[in-house]
Structure formats: structure tokens, C-alpha cells
Amino acid sequence: MSILVGKETKLLVQGITGRDGSFHARMMKEYGTNVVAGVTPGKGGSSVDGIPVFNSVHEAKEKTGANTSVIFVPARFAVDAIYEAIDAELDLIVCISEGIPTLEMAKVMSYLRGKKTRLIGPNSPGLISPEEAKVGILPGHIFKKGSIGVISRSGTLTYEIVYHITNSGFGESTCIGIGGDQIIGTKFIDCLKLFREDDETEAVVLVGEIGGQDEEETAAWIRENFNKPVFGFIAGKTAPPEKRMGHAGAIISGGSGTAPEKIKAFKEAGIIVGETPKEVAERVKERLS
């Protein structure tokens, strides 16, 4: 079974008339996702590849029953797009936009408290439940329906690990790119809670990165609360010390948040860690075959 997105997803695309929005709306539709609407203020009444465009999220939801939004909006407008989708009481928002200031995201997270909406991202590649729905920019052809849940802070590394998992004979139940920024709407533990309740997810792969303490906190939670096999990979083992890396979340301060620390925490929690993306898939096959 899938989590978060599936056959029941009715997707609207915020920023659908832009270059990225129009391209990926078409890709998601071709994959089989039920893309019911697009939103671009001032472009209401037009269409993109047969998808009707509305001036507001509220109008799009009212006319189409949309329950999920994916945001392809430049960073300076993306926060307002998130607020608009929250106010429309959508079930899920997936924010692809990157470069949103951390302070603005802190305000968004405060606003989300007590609301029904879940936010994935920002700076997320999206998520996919193979053969059901793709929301975001993930390359659908490398995924296969199966029993491995994947949660990742990295974009391209996710694709490589999934490629090897698929080629090893296993498929994915749902793959979630949670985003690489310091403040994100949904974290590893939030996703693990959903996979824990999914009978068709047999095991989970975590793809972490240097910076922050999310991986260490997740490892501690897994030790006490998660009884399915967990496999892990940490990106950034070769990052030079005292350097700020590309992702906003990949900031190492005071010697904490390093790859060795995260790998140690994973192993102490019983997580099976691969040294390379291919090795992660090999460990999955060894453990589950």
C-alpha cells in the first residue's frame, strides 16, 4: 500500500504556467497521476495540456475536488503559495521550490500547527508511489511497485539508491524526498510513523546527509519505536571539514552533524548502513531474500 499519495490523489499544480510547472505537470500526468487543476493568478480560464488553470487554490479545490498541491513557484513567491494552500485546507502540499529563507519557513511551520495540512519540503524532489501517483520531479521510470519505503534528504542520491533497489529485484512502496533545507515540513520520524502502520512496507531505507541532528534523533527513535528492518546511507563522508556545503541543511557546526557521527548513530540503533548506494541495495537483498 502507498502512503501520502496514490490513486486517491487529486493534484493541483501551483505555478503550472511557468516553464518547470508546465513541464512537470505533463510528466506527472503522463505517469498516471490524477492532475486535476493548475493555479496561476491572472491565468484563470486557460489550460495547460488539457489541465484547467484557476486563479486561486480555493477556486481550484472548489471546482475540481483537489486534495494535494505541488508548488513550482520561485522562492520569493513560494511562501505565499504555501499559505494559500494551507488556507484552502488541502491534505498535502509538496514544495519543490528552493531558496526559501529559513526565517520565512519558521513562520510557515508556526502557522501549520493545528492545521489539517501536511507539508513536504521545501527544496524537495517530491514523492512517488510507483504505479499509482508521482508528485514532483522524480524520474518515474526507475521506480517499481514493491515493499521498500524510502525517505531521503538528498535528491540525486535517492535516484541512484532506488535504481539499485529496483535492479536488485525489489520495488518501492512509497519514496519521499523530504528536502534538504534546515527547516522542512515533514521529517524522517514523521514518515517512519506512516510506514510503521503500512502493512505492505516490509523495510525502510533512509538517505541522510551531513549537517543538523535529524539522523541522530531518528536513530534514537527507531531504537525504541520501529520494528521493521531499516537500512541507511549517509552522504557527505568526503566533505572537507569547516566547509559549508550546498544544501541549506548541510551545515556542520561545533563538530556536530558529521558523517561519522551519523553513521555511528545509525549502527548503534541497528540500522544496516551501506558505504555506497549499490551496497545499500545489496544489504536489502541479503536481509530480505
Q: Are residues 215 and 147 in the same domain?
A: yes
User: Do 254 and 146 belong together in one domain?
Assistant: yes
Question: Residues with Cβ < 8 Å from 139, sequence gap 6 or more?
Answer: 159
Q: How many helices (H) and strands (E) does the chain have?
A: 9, 14
Dihedral angle, C-alpha 211, 216, 217, 218, nearest 10 °: 100
Which DSSP letter does residue 127 get? E
Q: In what order do the strands lie in the sheet with 203-209?
A: 133-136, 126-129, 172-177, 145-152, 203-209, 230-235, 272-273
The reply to whether 113 and 162 lie within a common domain is no
Residue 1 lies in a domain: no
240 in the same domain as 168: yes
Determine, yes or no, domain membership for 68.
yes
Same-domain pairing of 151 and 94: no
Please give the pLDDT value at position 254.
Answer: 46
Q: Kindly state whether residue 201 falls inside one of the protein's structural domains.
A: yes
User: For the whole model, what pTM was predicted?
Assistant: 0.94
In this prediction, residue 240 carries a pLDDT of 60
> What's the CATH number where 89 sits?
3.40.50.720
The x, y and z cell numbers of residue 167, run together, are 535492479
- My answer on whether 273 and 148 are in the same domain is yes
Residues 102, 237, single domain; the answer is no
CA distance 40 to 83: 15
Give residue 237's pLDDT: 75
State which residues form the domain around 265.
139-288
* End position of a domain, from candidates 93, 120, 147: 120
Any domain includes 3: no
Catalytic residues: 247
Number of domains, the chain? 2
Q: Do 144 and 232 reside in the same domain of the chain? A: yes
> Last residue of a domain, which of 66, 85, 120?
120
Residues in the chain: 289
Q: Which residue ranges make up the annotated binding site for substrate?
A: 159
Listed residues 120, 149, 166: the one ending a domain: 120
In a domain, 91, yes or no: yes
In a domain, 6, yes or no: no
Shared domain check, 113 and 230:
no
Domain shared by 161 and 277, yes or no: yes
Binding-site residues for CoA: 17-20, 43
3-state secondary structure string across 149-213: EEEECCCHHHHHHHHHHHHCCCCEEEEEECCCCCCCCCCHHHHHHHHHCCCCCCEEEEEEECCCC
Judge whether 273 lies within some domain. yes
289 residues of the chain, pLDDT tens digit each: 689 999 999 999 999 999 999 999 999 999 999 999 999 999 999 999 999 999 999 999 999 999 999 999 999 999 999 999 999 999 999 999 999 999 999 999 999 999 999 999 999 999 999 999 999 999 999 999 999 999 999 888 899 999 999 999 999 999 999 998 999 999 999 999 999 999 999 999 999 999 889 999 999 999 999 999 999 999 987 666 555 455 545 454 445 588 999 999 999 999 999 999 999 999 999 999 8
Is residue 131 one of the residues assigned to a domain?
no
Judgement on whether residues 17 and 94 belong to the same structural domain of the protein: yes
Residue 220 is predicted with a pLDDT of 98
Instruction: Work out whether strand 51-54 and strand 47-48 pair parallel, antiparallel, or are unpaired.
Output: antiparallel
Q: Is there a single domain that holds both residue 112 and residue 219?
A: no
What CATH number should be reported for the domain holding residue 258? 3.40.50.261
